Amino acid sequence: MITEIANKIYLHQKNGKEMDKITNHYPELNVSNAYEIQKVSIDYAIKNGDPLIGWKMGLTSIAKQKSVNVDEPIYGRLTQSMELQTSVLKMEGTIHPRVEPEIAFVLNKPLFGSDITAEDVWNATEYIVPALEVIDSRYKNFSFTLTDVVADNASSSKFILGEKTYSPTYTAWEQINVELYKNGEKVQSGISSDVLNHPVESVVKLVKMISKNGYQLDAGMIILTGGITEAVHVGAGDLIEAHFEGLENMTLRVE
Ligand code: 0L1
Ligand code: MG
């Protein structure tokens, strides 16, 4: 059953096609099953030439948890085809995309174990960079339970990293005010402490969560720490601008 569901989700992710919630058809599934489904579906992508390049944390702010009626952070996996190389998002191959600003860590050492600390994460961080994540739930109406969204790789679709990278000691990473503009109008604002009090704590939480399932973060991996604001709906013709206080601004044009 796990492989059958994982294959279905993989195909819907690859083709950008919506589907019914898996819990409609398999109400007995739990969150632990969902993480297995996520692993197997991403393994299909990896076997089809799309390597794992990072991990993400989702639902790291209370506001985001409330907006989808879920009360815990979740993790997902990032593959190469998800990383945008130019600041353009093509609507083709997406369903109902939303964009959110994040802080990303890039590692130079592996991280693992349930006793990991923030100091361990700082010591393993090559650089920090602002990012925009595009989430795009495969479920109709962007509506799901915790089990559904975990199986759907935490709604991961695309992401782009900023061009300028920063040393871990560059600034107080929990005090970055962020404003999100859509077609010139401010639509969201937030502060990076909304991400589990500090984005580094999101990496700590991720390592603890995946180590329970027998995984680790490898050197070179990109980690998206979680949305600093609510995600904003986008469609063809939209221009998103994210102002990260004290850092470079980012844009994403939707075609
Ligand atoms: O990156 C995220 O925080 C998304 C997690 C999944 C929930 C959603 O699709 O809004
Ligand atoms: Mg996110």
Distance from residue 155's CA to the centre of ligand 1 (Å): 6
Contact 158, 83 (CB under 8 A): yes
3-class DSSP assignment, residue 133: strand
pTM of the predicted model, to two decimals? 0.97
In 108-164, the DSSP E strands lie at 125-135, 156-161
CATH hierarchy code of domain 2-254: 3.90.850.10
Return the residue whose CA atom lies nearest to atom 4 of ligand 1.
58
Return the residue whose CA atom lies nearest to atom 1 of ligand 1.
58
3-class DSSP assignment, residue 200: helix
Ion ligand 2 neighbours (CB, 5 A) are 133, 227
Size of the chain in residues: 255
- pLDDT tens across the length of the chain (255 residues): 999 999 999 999 999 999 999 999 999 999 999 999 999 999 999 999 999 999 999 999 988 888 888 888 999 999 999 999 999 999 999 999 999 999 999 999 999 999 999 999 999 999 999 999 999 999 999 999 999 999 999 999 999 999 999 999 999 999 999 999 999 999 999 999 999 999 999 999 999 999 998 999 999 999 999 999 999 999 999 999 999 999 999 999 999
Q: Which atom of ligand 1 is nearest to the CA of 155?
A: 9
